[in-house]
Amino acid sequence: MVLGGSGVGKTHLVGQLVLRMRRNRQGLLRIRHGGVQNLSSLEEVLTCLEAGRAAGHTPAETWTGVKCELETVSGQSVSLEWPEYAGERLFSIVKRRAVPEEWRKSISSATGWLLFIRPSTLNLYEDLLTRPAGVTPPNALRKQSELDGNSWDDRARYVELLQILLCTAGKSSYSRIDSPRLAIVLSCWDEGTNSKSPVELFNERMPLLSSFVRSNWVGDAWSVWGLSSLGRALSQEQCDQDYAEKGPENFGYVVETHTTKMDTDLTRPIAWLMKV
Residue 232 lies in a domain: yes
Cα–Cα–Cα angle for 91, 95, 100, rounded to 5 degrees: 65
Domain for residue 131, yes or no?
A: no
Instruction: Specify if 138 maps to a domain.
Output: no
> Given this model, what pLDDT does residue 7 score?
83
Distance CA 156, CA 168 (A): 18
Domain count, the chain: 1
Neighbours of 180 (CB within 10 A): 23
Chain centre distance of CA 269: 10
Q: 263, 254 in Cβ contact below 8 A?
A: yes
* Cα distance between residue 206 and residue 159, in whole Å: 10
| DSSP E strand boundaries for 167-218 | 181-186
HEC profile for 47-93? HHHHCCCCCCCCCCCCEEEEEEEEEECCCCEEEEEEEEECCHHHHHH
Q: pLDDT (tens digit, 0 to 9) for every residue of the chain, 276 residues total? A: 888 888 888 888 888 888 877 766 677 888 777 667 666 667 788 888 889 998 876 654 555 667 778 888 888 887 777 766 767 778 888 888 888 887 888 888 888 999 999 998 888 776 655 555 555 655 555 554 444 445 678 888 999 999 999 999 999 878 899 999 999 999 999 987 668 999 999 999 999 999 999 999 999 999 999 999 999 988 888 999 999 999 888 899 999 999 999 999 998 999 999 888
Residue 104 lies in a domain: yes
Whether 60 and 88 have beta carbons less than 8 Å apart is answered as yes
Look up the domain containing 184 and give its range: 2-126+150-273
Q: Is residue 133 part of a domain?
A: no
Looking at residue 257, which CATH number applies to its domain? Answer: 3.40.50
Per the confidence metrics, is the pTM higher than 0.75? yes
Note whether residue 139 is domain-resident: no
Q: Is residue 142 part of a domain?
A: no
Residue 145 lies inside a defined structural domain of this protein: no
Neighbours of 238 (CB within 10 A): 10
Q: Could you report the per-residue pLDDT of 8-40, keeping only the tens digit for each?
A: 888 888 888 888 777 666 778 887 776 676 666
Do the Cβ atoms of 112 and 222 come closer than 8 Å? no
Give the pLDDT of residue 146.
Answer: 47
